[in-house]
Amino acid sequence: MTRRIALVLEYDGTRYAGFQLQSIAPSIQGTLEEAIKGLTGVTSRVYGAGRTDAGVHAIGQVVRFDTDSELAIERFRPGLNFHLPEDIAVRAASEANVNFDPRRQAIARVYRYAMIESESRSPLRGRFAHHVGRSLDVLAMHAALER
C-alpha cells in the first residue's frame, strides 16, 4: 500500500546547486532521494514546497514523497538522518494525506536575506550572509520597497 510521507528539512545549501534535481551537480532533492532509497530500498521522487537556488539554506523546507515501505513513521527521521550528510537534516516526519501537495498547500513562505555591512569579510558568518563592503542606504531601500 502506497503511503505519502511529509518531511520538514533543514539544510546548509552551500555545496549544493539548489533544491531541484541536477544531472551534473549535487542537489538537495537528489541527496534526499538517495537517502530515501538507502533507508527503504526503493526509489522515490521528492516534491518540495519550493525550490531554493544554489547556495541557499532552509530552516523548515516541507517536502513529500510516496513509498510502499512498511517502516514505522517514527523510524523515518532517524533513519534518513543516518543516510544524509551533516549539512542536511530531517527535523520531522509524518504520514500525510494522499492528496497532500506541499507546494500548492503551503500556508506561508518566509525568506530572510542577511547582509553584513563591514569593510572586511566575516569567515564565521560569510556562509549565511552576503558581505556588503559599504554602508547600506536604508532610506533608499525602504523607498524602493514601498514601490
| pLDDT tens-digit profile, the chain (147 residues) | 899 999 999 999 999 998 898 889 999 999 999 999 999 999 999 998 887 888 788 999 999 999 999 999 999 999 999 999 999 999 999 999 999 988 888 888 888 888 888 888 888 887 888 888 878 888 998 999 888
Q: What integer pLDDT is reported at residue 132 of this predicted model?
A: 86
Range of the domain at 136: 115-146
Whether the CB-CB separation of 44 and 37 falls below 8 Å is answered with yes
Confirm whether 134 is domain-assigned.
yes
Confirm whether 50 is domain-assigned.
yes
pTM: 0.85
Measured distance CA(54)–CA(14) in Å, rounded: 7
Same domain, 134 and 84: no
Same domain, 92 and 126: no
Q: What integer pLDDT is reported at residue 130 of this predicted model?
A: 83
Side-chain half-sphere CA neighbours of 71 within 13 A:
23
Confirm whether 139 is domain-assigned.
yes
Confirm whether 29 is domain-assigned.
yes
Same domain, 58 and 85: yes
Same domain, 81 and 39: yes
Place of cell 566575516: 122
CA 77 to chain centre: 15
Number of domains in the chain: 2
Annotated active-site residue in 12, 53, 66, 87: 53
Measured distance CA(128)–CA(123) in Å, rounded: 10
Same domain, 133 and 66: no
Same domain, 79 and 128: no
Measured distance CA(13)–CA(19) in Å, rounded: 8
Q: What integer pLDDT is reported at residue 112 of this predicted model?
A: 82
Whether 87 sits among the annotated catalytic residues: the reply is no
Comparing C-alpha atoms, which of 102, 103, 104, 95 is closest to residue 4?
Answer: 95
Confirm whether 104 is domain-assigned.
no
